[in-house]
Amino acid sequence: MAGKILIIGACGQIGTELTLKLRDLYGNDRVVASDIREGNEELMNSGPFEIADATDAPLIETIIDKYEISEVYLMAAMLSATAEKAPMKAWNLNMDSLFHILNFAKDKKIEKVFWPSSIAVFGPTTPKNDTPQTTIMEPSTVYGISKQTGERWCEYFHDKYGVDVRSLRYPGIISYKTLPGGGTTDYAIEIFHEALKNKAYTSFLAEDTGLPMMYMDDAIKATVDIMEAPSEKIKVRSSYNLSALSFTPKVLAEAIQKEIPDFKISYDPDFRQKIADSWPSSIDDSEARKDWQWKHDFDMQSLVKEMLAGVSEQLKTAK
């Protein structure tokens, strides 16, 4: 890695933990965090930070020049449930920010780009079980439409201009360190807080809604692994399927009950149910496993134990 790393959207759910991991790997001063607002204390105190709107191309360019940035991780996005409430705002943020970074890479201002896609690129007509890498994609949400469009542009900029852009279709990400950011899979984080505080949770998804999920540490690992892989190993330049676990709210509740026997769950599906119903229930990520040796570390019970321990510690500290 010649220059430094810039993370745009560093204060989000994934961005926060990714920033800290990259600082740990490459050195605090080599990883510049930026977001439209300040982040948590650990992120702010551990290295350089710039307030920046991801859609403000001249400002982003100034930061790239100031720090001699060679790699950009563009993590800023409006997520699924939030985007449905503000469609054009979501489209503008999700697309304009990507065009700016792809153009900087095309103009050789930066060398490498990471941009996250999502299982939201799939739609109701996509095969739901073991969804293949290449398949029907007819997304029915604003977020999914923007991510599918972004995938096409990433591939186009790679094929036409040689831009080294790499991407993952993240499943639902589970973490106790940062609060959920308005996604359809957020129930799988909220449930742990409620299990420990109230021994009860009302899920906004139906009990049998299966979705692909992943513990945050595995998502960060996959992101670092794909960026560290030699360029010739990256065969997919739209976005790679990525998977670890798939489960329903009922199955997750049963896993929590092994640790908290008197925990109770009930169900009251809201508008997010329709979004979840349009997504796959499990993902085939064999191409990522073959091309750059992706493998996950956390199974269901180890995820549940980590989450309960982490949230429990947070609740103690908050008292």
Q: Where are the domains of the chain?
A: 4-171, 174-212+244-318
- SS3 letters for 280-317? CCCECCHHHHHHCCCCCCCCHHHHHHHHHHHHHHHHHH
Mean predicted lDDT score pLDDT of the chain: 96
Cα(190)–Cα(11) distance, rounded to whole angstroms? Answer: 19
Tens of pLDDT, residues 33-64? 999 999 999 999 999 999 999 999 999 999 99
pLDDT higher than threshold 70 for residue 1:
no
What is the average per-residue pLDDT within 14-42?
Answer: 97
* Catalytic residue set: 143
The dotted CATH code for 174-212+244-318 is 3.90.25.10
What is the average per-residue pLDDT within 136-162?
Answer: 97
Cα(138)–Cα(200) distance, rounded to whole angstroms? Answer: 36
- What sign does the CA torsion over 213, 131, 85, 16 have? positive
Res 181: pLDDT? 75
Q: 248 with 97: CB under 8 angstroms?
A: no
Cα(116)–Cα(167) distance, rounded to whole angstroms? Answer: 5
Percent of the chain clearing pLDDT 90 (strictly above):
93
Burial class for 65, CB neighbours closer than 10 Å (0-12, 13-18, 19+): exposed
218 Cβ contact partners less than 8 Å away, ≥ 6 residues apart = 244, 296, 297, 298
pLDDT higher than threshold 90 for residue 177:
no
Name the phi and psi angles at 280, rounded to 5.
-65, 155
Cα(141)–Cα(201) distance, rounded to whole angstroms? Answer: 26
pLDDT higher than threshold 70 for residue 75:
yes
Per-residue pLDDT band for 2 (boundaries 50, 70, 90) equals: low
pLDDT higher than threshold 80 for residue 180:
no
159 Cβ contact partners less than 8 Å away, ≥ 6 residues apart = 237
Token pair, residue 122, equals 């799939």
Angle of the 300-318 helix axis to the 187-197 helix axis, nearest 10: 60
Task: List own/partner pairs for 101-105 with CB under 8 A and 24 or more apart.
Answer: 101/8, 101/60, 101/72, 101/74, 102/153, 102/154, 102/157, 102/163, 102/165, 103/57, 104/60, 104/61, 104/64, 104/72, 105/72, 105/157, 105/161, 105/163, 105/164, 105/165
The dotted CATH code for 4-171 is 3.40.50.720
What is the secondary structure of 76-105 as a DSSP string? ----HHHHTTSHHHHHHHHHHHHHHHHHHH
Res 3: pLDDT? 85
The amino acid that residue 243 corresponds to is S
What is the average per-residue pLDDT within 221-250?
Answer: 98
Res 74: pLDDT? 98
